[in-house]
Structure 1
Amino acid sequence: MKHPAAYLASSLALGAVVLVAMPAQAEDIVVSNYGVSANGMPYAIAEAKGYFKEEGANVTGILSSAGGGTTLRNMLAGSAPYAEVNPNAVILAIQQGADIKIVSDNVLTVAEFVWAVKPDSPIKTIKDLKGKKFGYTNPRSTSQALATMVLQTAGMKTDDVEMVKTGGFGEGVAALDIGVVDIAPVPEPLWSEFQNKYRPIAKATDLLPPLANVVGVSVGSPVPAKAEFIRAVIRARRRAVTYMEQHPDESGDIVAKVYNLEPAIARSAVKNLITSKTAGIEYWGTGQIHLDGLKRAIEVQKMVGAITGDVDAEKMIDTQFLPDDLKALK
């Protein structure tokens, strides 16, 4: 079992990939925080069930990336035809001149987020946080933006609390343990591991609207072979999401092996998220673009200065790789 400190990366950490063509049928794909954060769980199912091969994608490896500025620098010369990253990363890369497009909308909400306190904490509601230490991962991160939104639901501002950078979700749990912070975000699968140890006072599903969480991206004009590979990956992932809905326990067991989790924890995380609805929107999408959620995500990141300037969300989207029944924007 991973110690909380092992969860160094945010499930919604920034990352970017510039993808270049290479003459090969067998390809790697890149998934931010694969093996750590909940967003990438469907890929574990697609690989284990053989969906990639059945759909015509010879996926030789699912590469994990921690995101952030390091990912942006390290992945600019990458060769993977397809990647799953935070939309912020796509926007920043495009603003810097990268020829990449959003080709699928993969995680549609931030339902994995719970903000928790110690069981004996006097904090019972968000309003009780006034003057308290509020943990978040890193400046301009999604966790900082969401913390701002959580406070706003109670008519509060970040000035009403002391915002404390922890550097990661695992580190945030450790900081909560020793009293460095009074509240910390504990996303899945960490929440399923520690839900008996902490008390939630805010859940994203209850407070926040649907927000684009991670998206699939590719180069603007991939060569035909890579275009078919991308279509096959999207189809395989879609099948995996359906399998997770129909077989949550079996899916949890697969995830447990890939994510190095106890089966009960993985099963809990999968069940929690596969049954989650935020304003009627599921957590794991099948690829169809939810434009409103993407626009909300952009505005949220502007709130903390992660994104600046005008952003035309529709110009970043290319639906040609989606199955015909998913091509319409929602």
Structure 2
Amino acid sequence: MTLLFRNLALCLMLMIPASVPALERPKLTLAVGGHALLYNLPLAVALQKGYFEEQGLELEVVDFSAGVKALQAMIAGDAEVVSGAYDHTLRMQARGHALRAFVLTAEAPQVVVAVSSRSLPEYCTASDLRGKKIGISSAGSSTQMLANLILAKAGVRADEVTFVEVGASADAAQALHSGKVDVIAHTEPVISLLEKQHGLHIIADTRHPQGTRALFGGPMPAGTLYTKVSFIEENPRTIQALTNAMVKALHWLRSASAEDVAALVPTDYLLDDPDLYKQAYRNIQPALSSNGLFPAQGPALTRQALQAFDPTLREMALSPAGTWTNDFVNAALQAMK
């Protein structure tokens, strides 16, 4: 009888992997630009709540000074996945790289373009930015994309201003405060910190859907997880596990208060000012995706925005169709029912 039970137990153990397939890549490196920025809050929530571990993933997160540097790390093979802006998938398509975003974390870029009331007290229109120094997180970043779009709408060429990289940390605020730049294009909590410390005149505000629609004409896919198309095709169960964790984080954020968020994130994210961080969260909360799904018209609007200011991209037949998918999010949402 004992031998019978042992054999039965062995059979059951052998059956488990067949019914629950193992992940192809349980250990992953994820690159992110500015982990402490609220732009990447859903990732922070998933990490702090242990959602990746629940999915059988062991995730190493490598933080970079800007999203474009995280992208470069993935292209170089130093990371498998990026938490970053959707528009990078289209930019890289133009360079022959096939990338695909598989979960959306925000439907608005959350970038604010603002001028220093001290440096430009008589600012009137965006044409006044001609000849000025504009602080961006990094060259090729979404912050630069938004600044370029504002300039293009005002008839100002990109070569008529000077872009200054100020990074993705709170030190970016010091660049405006010290006069190193006259204008800032950045995200939270840097903007709230500047609003508290320094007079700002906001030119464009995409921390909420209204400002995003005013600038782009509709929802603008922003924060995502993306990777190489080949990696998705080779590791679909791993991608599904990543998606499940992120969708669960977005679900938590739907009902989370500013106090809940401030209590969850690492203390160094709070910039020694929990109240400021809470306000910064309230500022971007409307931009967060409620379910992780890409809005159908969003990718085409991203292409339109990129081609509006970049003559090189304007001449290329960019196809958003292959740069995003809702398949994994739909599966995650179905499993949560």
TM-score range, shorter chain: 0.7 to 0.9
Is 2:328 the partner of 1:321? yes
Is 2:176 the partner of 1:165? no
Asked if structure 1 preserves the Cα contact closer than 8 Å seen for 2:34 and 2:63, the reply is yes
What residue is the counterpart of 1:61 in the other structure? 60
Cα deviation 1:183-206 (Å, max 9, x = unaligned): 222421111222122223323233
What residue is the counterpart of 2:279 in the other structure? 268
Cα deviation 1:276-324 (Å, max 9, x = unaligned): 3xxxxx3345321124222222222232357451111112333332224
The answer for unaligned runs of 5 or more in structure 2 is: 1-21
Asked if structure 2 preserves the Cα contact closer than 8 Å seen for 1:140 and 1:305, the reply is no
Asked if structure 2 preserves the Cα contact closer than 8 Å seen for 1:30 and 1:63, the reply is yes
Q: Tell me how far apart the structure 2 counterparts of residues 76 and 120 of structure 1 sit (CA, whole Å).
A: 39
Match of 2:227 among 203, 218, 240: 218
What residue is the counterpart of 1:252 in the other structure? 262
What residue is the counterpart of 2:26 in the other structure? 26
Note the 1:300-319 alignment, pairs <5 A: 300-302=305-307, 303-305=309-311, 307=313, 309-319=316-326
Is 2:224 the partner of 1:242? no
What residue is the counterpart of 1:202 in the other structure? 203
User: What SS class does the counterpart of residue 297 from structure 2 fall into?
Assistant: helix
Report the CA distance between 1:245 and its aligned residue.
Answer: 3.1
User: What SS class does the counterpart of residue 110 from structure 1 fall into?
Assistant: coil
Asked if structure 1 preserves the Cα contact closer than 8 Å seen for 2:151 and 2:157, the reply is no
- Identity in percent: 17
Length, aligned pairs only: 297
Q: Tell me how far apart the structure 2 counterparts of residues 224 and 129 of structure 1 sit (CA, whole Å).
A: 48
TM-score normalised by structure 2 residue count: 0.72
Report the CA distance between 1:260 and its aligned residue.
Answer: 5.8
Is 2:177 the partner of 1:177? yes
Note the 1:109-188 alignment, pairs <5 A: 109-118=108-117, 121-123=120-122, 125-126=124-125, 129=128, 133-137=132-136, 140-151=140-151, 156-159=154-157, 162-168=160-166, 173-188=173-188
Report the CA distance between 1:225 and its aligned residue.
Answer: 9.0
Q: Tell me how far apart the structure 2 counterparts of residues 146 and 285 of structure 1 sit (CA, whole Å).
A: 23
Asked if structure 2 preserves the Cα contact closer than 8 Å seen for 1:173 and 1:186, the reply is no
Is 2:298 the partner of 1:288? no
User: What SS class does the counterpart of residue 165 from structure 2 fall into?
Assistant: coil
Q: Tell me how far apart the structure 2 counterparts of residues 235 and 285 of structure 1 sit (CA, whole Å).
A: 14
Note the 1:14-93 alignment, pairs <5 A: 26-54=26-54, 56-66=55-65, 71=70, 73-78=72-77, 80-93=79-92
Report the CA distance between 1:30 and its aligned residue.
Answer: 1.6
Q: 1:301 to 1:326 in 2, by over 3 A?
A: farther
Cα deviation 1:243-300 (Å, max 9, x = unaligned): 22322322123234363633233222222111x3xxxxx3345321124222222222
More helix by share: 2
Task: State the one-letter code of the partner of 1:299.
Answer: Q
Q: Tell me how far apart the structure 2 counterparts of residues 63 and 201 of structure 1 sit (CA, whole Å).
A: 32
The answer for unaligned runs of 5 or more in structure 1 is: 1-21, 277-281
Q: Tell me how far apart the structure 1 counterparts of residues 139 and 80 of structure 2 sit (CA, whole Å).
A: 30
User: What SS class does the counterpart of residue 310 from structure 1 fall into?
Assistant: coil
What residue is the counterpart of 2:9 in the other structure? none
Report the CA distance between 1:103 and its aligned residue.
Answer: 1.6
Match of 2:302 among 280, 288, 297: 297
**Considering only aligned residues, what root-mean-square deviation do their CA atoms show, in Å?**
3.6
Task: State the one-letter code of the partner of 1:157.
Answer: G
Greater alpha carbon shift after TM alignment, 129-138 vs 305-314: 129-138
Asked if structure 2 preserves the Cα contact closer than 8 Å seen for 1:176 and 1:182, the reply is yes
Q: Tell me how far apart the structure 2 counterparts of residues 234 and 76 of structure 1 sit (CA, whole Å).
A: 21
TM-score normalised by structure 1 residue count: 0.73
Q: Tell me how far apart the structure 2 counterparts of residues 232 and 23 of structure 1 sit (CA, whole Å).
A: 8
Rg larger in structure: 2
Report the CA distance between 1:77 and its aligned residue.
Answer: 4.8
Task: State the one-letter code of the partner of 2:299.
Answer: L
Q: Tell me how far apart the structure 2 counterparts of residues 41 and 304 of structure 1 sit (CA, whole Å).
A: 29
Q: 1:127 to 1:75 in 2, by over 3 A?
A: closer
Task: State the one-letter code of the partner of 2:278.
Answer: R
Q: 1:123 to 1:148 in 2, by over 3 A?
A: farther
Q: Tell me how far apart the structure 2 counterparts of residues 103 and 265 of structure 1 sit (CA, whole Å).
A: 32
